[in-house]
Amino acid sequence: MRKDPIKLTTGLGFAGVLALMGLISFISLSQMSMITEQMSQLINETNTKISAANAMRDSIRLRGESLYNMSLTDDYIERDEYRSKFYKYALQYKVARDTLYSYRMSSREAKLLDQLMTQTRAAKKLNDIAAENLLSDLPEKTVKDSIRLANNARHGILKKLDELVQLQEDISKSVVDDAKQYQETISTIISFLSLAAFFIAIYIAQLVIRETTRKNYEIRFQATHDELTKLVNRKEFNHRLQDALKTAVDNHEVHALCFMDLDKFKIINDTCGHKAGDQLLIQLTRIIKEKIRSHDTLARLGGDEFGLLLEGCTLEKATEIAEGIVSLVKNHEFKWQDKTFHVGVSIGLIMMTHETRSIDKALSQADIACYAAKDMGRNQVHIHGFGDKYAKKIHKELGWVAQINNSNCEQRFALHLQAVTNLQEQQSTMIYEVLLRLKDDTGNWVSPESYIPAAERFNLMQDVDYWVIKNSFKYLSELYKKFPECNIQLSINISANSLGRYHFTEFVIEQLQKYNITPGVICFEIAEANAVKNISQSADIITRLRKHNIKFALDNFGSSMTSISYLKDLQVDYLKIDGNIIKNISQNTTDKAMVAAINQAGKVMNIEIVAKHVENIFTYNQLKEMGIDYVQGFYIEKPFPLSQQMETLKKHLPPLSKRH
């Protein structure tokens, strides 16, 4: 897992600060403790040494006093007592000297003590002689001379002892000075470490603040922008539309709103993959942004749908910008894996003024205008106006959409059946196409062309497909329970909305199991145009459902010049030739040749051919001569309500009990 460098830096920074603070605390405590201990030890040693030197000095003085007192008295016994004290003080001197020697000595101390020891030996000898002479009968001059020599020797020792005491004081002062210097050094180090910790903490704080600010900006950006194109998303676009509407209402400003839908985008997405589609969207976003003004808002509203808000823009300028975008997109070459593609864009344009009621209404009008642009031939700009024929047409279609969306399917919809007849041999299986009909408010049937395109555009047909499938399966289940040998197959049309839903196959399998449908009696019809647009999804659905014995037909086949090339990717059982081709084969040799070519391709690929819209005997006979497998149309049979077809079957098929 890739680590976040900011988190790593912050973590290491905090760890460094903590380590520095710990080091500072450790140095402060340990070094201060060491200095205190050293100072305490130094003071104890110095005091002991000075005490020993003073004790030696006292012993020397007392020896001198004892010797002096001996010289003052003539009493032999008293002199002998003073002599005993004299030797006692000599012993005290030795003890103090040994104490002094028991401590560590510097070179200066050792040198001074060596000199002191030499003088002590000489002085001891002179003092002992003087003491002995005082107890002897030697001449007074000899005694006095020995006392004088002894006194001189003692003074020399006292002088050395004074030097020793002064040396101890100097050493003590030097150590104290060194300790102070060391303490200052430690304080400097601690100050430096503290300063380093402070600056690291400041850097980390700035880093955290900067990173938090960046993250907050990213979060706000992600919440208001599209991840792929980095354009504002629908939610943010609505906010800006609302602000623009407020200025239009309050200040009578005029803005333009464009709804843009790419043409032929799904072909690239389906044939080259979503990665190619994403790259195309990024490229188109870049070139469109170069065309609009800096303060205009370009937004991605859906997969291939965009919104454009032109604030403070006249109709003339808005039209110029919109037509410029159409030209840019149309002329843009998209290259992918050595292939070049061209797409287009249909744009619906409306003006937002103080009369605009709401942004929802504005978006709806822009969408209607875009729909009209597509209906007029795509790759163009249509300015919304309620008086034009396209707006009226679209409003009518949206009216049907509203009825589909708000009405109960059981009340509005009904299923009809139309027979599909075998031309070449006796038909053992009765094949019917399931046709959907919608009733208007007056109870009249509405043509599917009036509502299905609009319902597909607004993603409502999946629910309708589900209703058709459920009711068709229910009908078959009841029919086969009453007439197990009826051998009826139903063909059910599948819309583009259902092809784009992964869960569609799960729904079909669930209904197959629920109604216990006999294998091989269901055929799903997919319009060729929808199959091509969703070729990967179509192939996946066909592959998965064929495992459950469901057949497939390509409807309206032949409407595309590349129809044959797609057959290798789609495993279908039937090709239903586009009715516009079938209707003209009697008068148009090209259409007749196309039908023959499709029929020949079907034979080679073991696919049966169905001709739709057979409306007269001439077309019927020509198709039979050409070897077409099946025909369907008003000449064969007009669609009847499913319930009526059920009654017809009951008349021709005996009940199960009578057949046994």
Q: Residues with catalytic annotation? A: 304
Q: Which of 559, 582, 592 is nearest to 634 (CA)?
A: 582
3-state SS assignment for residue 110: helix
CA dihedral 631, 637, 642, 643 (to 10 degrees): -150
Under 8 Å CB-to-CB from 227, ≥6 apart: which residues? none
Rounded distance between C-alpha atoms, residue 544 and residue 539, angstroms: 9
Q: Amino acid identity, residue 298? A: L
User: How deeply is 516 buried, as exposed, middle or buried, from its count of CB atoms within 10 A (0-12, 13-18, 19+)?
Assistant: exposed
For residues 153 and 127, is the Cβ–Cβ distance under 8 A? yes
For residues 481 and 461, is the Cβ–Cβ distance under 8 A? no
Rounded distance between C-alpha atoms, residue 246 and residue 242, angstroms: 6
Rounded distance between C-alpha atoms, residue 322 and residue 382, angstroms: 10
CA atoms lying within 13 Å on the CB side of residue 268: 24
For residues 112 and 164, is the Cβ–Cβ distance under 8 A? yes
Rounded distance between C-alpha atoms, residue 424 and residue 419, angstroms: 16
Place of tokens 């094949």: 431
Place of tokens 């937004």: 299
Under 8 Å CB-to-CB from 291, ≥6 apart: which residues? 321, 324, 325, 328
Q: Can you spell out the DSSP letters for 217-236?
A: HHHHHHHHB-TTT--B-HHH
Q: What number of other Cβ atoms are within 10 A of residue 210's Cβ?
A: 11
- Residue 483 CA, chain-centre distance (Å), reads 59
Rounded distance between C-alpha atoms, residue 157 and residue 59, angstroms: 11
For residues 439 and 416, is the Cβ–Cβ distance under 8 A? no
Rounded distance between C-alpha atoms, residue 466 and residue 100, angstroms: 112
Q: What token pair was written down for 351?
A: 């003006």
How many degrees, rounded to 5, is the angle at CA 449 between CA 443 and CA 451?
Answer: 60
Q: Which residue stretches of 384-503 are H helix?
A: 389-406, 409-412, 452-457, 461-482, 496-499
Q: Which of 477, 491, 488, 508 is nearest to 436 (CA)?
A: 491
Strands 574-577 and 608-611: parallel
How many degrees, rounded to 5, is the angle at CA 196 between CA 195 and CA 198?
Answer: 60
Rounded distance between C-alpha atoms, residue 541 and residue 637, angstroms: 31
Helices H / strands E in the chain, number of each: 22, 17
Strands 630-631 and 522-527: unpaired
Per-state percent for the chain, helix, strand, coil, to nearest 5:
65, 15, 20
For residues 479 and 515, is the Cβ–Cβ distance under 8 A? no
